[in-house]
Structure 1
């Protein structure tokens, strides 16, 4: 399975269609992938597992989200004021 993920990451160009977010506005898609990335990273780090499967979420949110949003959310996570549940 890890090989499949690595192969997908190598062929990754931009965020693929996600049926959960069919509309033109991709704000929720951005938010969901940002939160999913950090949840994945937290869960796999707690288990002592490799976090490379989480890179998919990272690449998706980095291609969808404005840099200013990501910087703001990172600052909020560090300060403990992030509104999402990670």
Structure 2
């Protein structure tokens, strides 16, 4: 499930577009929501046997907004089955 994330280099410079759901300066919720959306997208597309490329958008957004320590911790929690979000 995380193979797509491992293949994309984190060195690319990219700024996510404005999301009206998160108008404030604090982008913590935006980061978390895009992390969830990415994993939900991967899960649903894999289950249906469809191409995973549309999920790359969420990957790029959360990699741009989220601190890598958060992503690392959330990924470990997903593997352990202790992640608090609904994927």
Question: TM-score w.r.t. structure 2 length?
Answer: 0.84
Q: Distance in 1 between matches of 2:32 and 2:16?
A: 13
Equivalent residue, structure 2, for 1:24:
25
Equivalent residue, structure 2, for 1:36:
37
4+ long deviations beyond 2 Å: none
Name the SS of the counterpart of 1:83 in structure 2. coil
Equivalent residue, structure 1, for 2:70:
69
Equivalent residue, structure 1, for 2:14:
13
**RMSD between superposed Cα atoms in Å:** 1.0
Q: Distance in 1 between matches of 2:14 and 2:61?
A: 9
The gaps in structure 2 that reach 5 residues or longer are: 1-12
Higher helix share: 1
Q: What is the total number of aligned residue pairs between the two structures?
A: 75
The gaps in structure 1 that reach 5 residues or longer are: 1-11
Please tell me whether the aligned partners of residues 41 and 55 of structure 2 are also in contact (alpha carbons under 8 angstroms): yes
Question: TM-score w.r.t. structure 1 length?
Answer: 0.85
